Amino acid sequence: MSMQQAQPASLLSRLTRGNGFWARALRHRSFLAGGFLSLLLVLMAVVSAFWTPYDPTKMNFRLRFAPPSAEHWLGTDHFGRDLFSIILTGAQNSILVGVVSVAIGLSFGVALGLLASARRGMTEELVMRFSDFAFAFPAILLAVMFVAALGPGSANAILAIGVYNIPVFARLSRGAANAVWTREYILAARTAGKGRLRITIEHVLPNILPVIIVQATIQFALAILAEAALSYLGLGAQPPAPSWGRMLSEAQTLIYKDPMLAVYPGLAIALSVLGLNLLGDGLRDIIDPRLSRRR
């Protein structure tokens, strides 16, 4: 009722009133900040796919270690390459890593988690022991092993991070799904005669989706961090593909010469990760059923 009698309001204040998803999202400051940073990351990747100020791989030995200027916004590196262009292009790599590794983890992990939860008993025990076991290899260790076996390279690094994500999602979705399985609406579906597979698809999956989406953003951020570390060690993206992690390892050898070279790529990683984390945390707050449900 109070909605109608409100005085004329700006579009923004109209959007942010009420209790719908977008209204709550637009009121959530860190969600907005996270969304902005994440959007920026995507934008950088998209733009750089079509246009960069300079060719990020083109060297120019007359212009080494140039300070920031109107032509070169962030200056140039030890090969005279335009830093801004490299950073811009590096976003593509980060997005690729995040998307692929999360997709791997998501598809296998969620399927395993749902299976474990739907079947219980031995199946659940097996899936849980598998993920226990997988947790014995922290992401970086697993990746090092993978890369040691398959050889360094972006694809292997992404694969390793993706494999690491599988038990993460398996565990999460199994826990969330188990909680859903105890609800009475599942019992209702069973009394209607629905089988386990059908209940899983029609009731369990939609209800655990919010949790999974939140975790996906967080794992996305972790994937960017892990890939950067691998590339820093020289096990990930290989030259000349622009990668923020590798830029840092190159910059480290030059810290006495130009410490700023180590600042930009690190900042790019940190802001991307920050953005995704804020986005994920914000989503968690906004989707939280305890808030959306009005008793």
Partner 1 sequence: MSVFLFKRLLTFLVTLLAASMLTFAALELLPGDPALVILGIDASPDAVAALSREMGFDQPAWLRYARWIGGLLQGEFADSYTYKVPVWELIRDRLIITVPLAVFAMVLTTIFAFLLGIYAASRHNRPGDVLVMGFSQLGIAVPNFWLAILLIVLFAVKLGWFKSGGFPGWDAGFWEALKALLLPAIALATVQGAILARFTRSSLLEVMREDFVRTARAKGLSRRAVLWRHVLRNALIPVVTIMGLQFASLLAGTIVVENVFAIPGLGRLIFQSIGNRDIVVVRDVVLMLAALVVAINFLVDLLYAVIDPRLKAHDI
Partner 2 sequence: METVLEADRLTVTLQTAAGPARAVRDLSFSLQRGRCLGIVGESGCGKSMTALAIMGLLPEGAHTAGRVLLHGEDLLALDDARMCAIRGDRIAMIFQEPMTSLNPLHRIGDQVGEALRLHKRMGRREAWEKALFLLERVGIPDPHRRIGQYPHQLSGGQRQRVMIAMALANEPDVLIADEPTTALDVTIQRQILDLIQDLAAETGMGLILISHDLGVIAENADDVLVMYGGMVVEQGSSEAIFRRFAHPYAQGLFAAIPKLGAGRDTRLRTIPGTVPDIADLPPGCPFQNRCPRAEAVCAVTVPPMERVGEGHRAACLFLDKAEAGA
Partner 3 sequence: MSGQGYARENVAMSDRAMTDKDVLAVYDLHKHYPLPRESLFREAGRVYALNGVDLRLGAAGSLGIVGESGCGKSTLARLVMGLEVPTAGRVEILGRDIAAMQGAELRHHRRHFQMVFQDPFGSLDPRQKVGRIVAEPLHVLGGSDAAQRAEMVAAVLEQVGLRASDRDRYPHEFSGGQRQRIAVARALITRPALIVADEAVSALDVSVQAQVLNLLRDLQEEHGIAYLFISHDLGVVDYLCEEVAVMYLGRIVERAPAKALFAAPLHPYTRALLEAVPRPEPGRRARMVLGGSVPAQTGRGRGCVFAGRCPRAAARCRGEEPPLIGHGDGHFAACHFPGDFSG
Per CB under 8 A, 27 contacts partner 3: no
How many residues belong to the site for partner 1 (CB under 8 A)? Answer: 46
Name the one range near partner 1 by CB under 8 A: 91-99, 131-139, 188-196, 204-212.
131-139
Determine the distance from the C-alpha atom of residue 106 to the mean position of all C-alpha atoms in its chain, rounded to a whole number.
12
19 binds partner 2 (CB under 8 A): yes
Nearest alpha-carbon partner for 38 in 274, 287, 214, 219 = 274
Inter-axis angle of helices 263-287 and 205-232, to 10 degrees? 170
Read off the tokens for 185: 């609406």
Closest CA to 246 of 263, 220, 265: 265
**Residue 120 is a binding residue for partner 3 (CB under 8 A):** no
Q: Per rule CB under 8 A, is residue 9 in the interface with partner 2?
A: no
Say which entry of partner 1, partner 2, partner 3, none residue 291 contacts (CB below 5 to 8 A, set by partner kind).
Answer: partner 2
Residue 86 lies near partner 1 (rule: CB under 8 A): no
Which residue reads 């993206």 in tokens? 237
**Rounded distance between C-alpha atoms, residue 211 and residue 229, angstroms:** 27
* Residue 172 binds to partner 1 (criterion: CB under 8 A): no
Q: Which amino acid is at 244?
A: W
DSSP codes, 149-169: HH-SSHHHHHHHHHHHHHHHH
Q: Counting contacts by CB under 8 A, is residue 289 touching partner 3?
A: yes
- Residue choice 50, 191, 256, 290 for contact with partner 3 (CB under 8 A): 191
Residue numbers at the binding site for partner 2 (CB under 8 A): 19, 291, 294
Residue numbers at the binding site for partner 3 (CB under 8 A): 183-185, 187-194, 203, 206-207, 289, 292-295
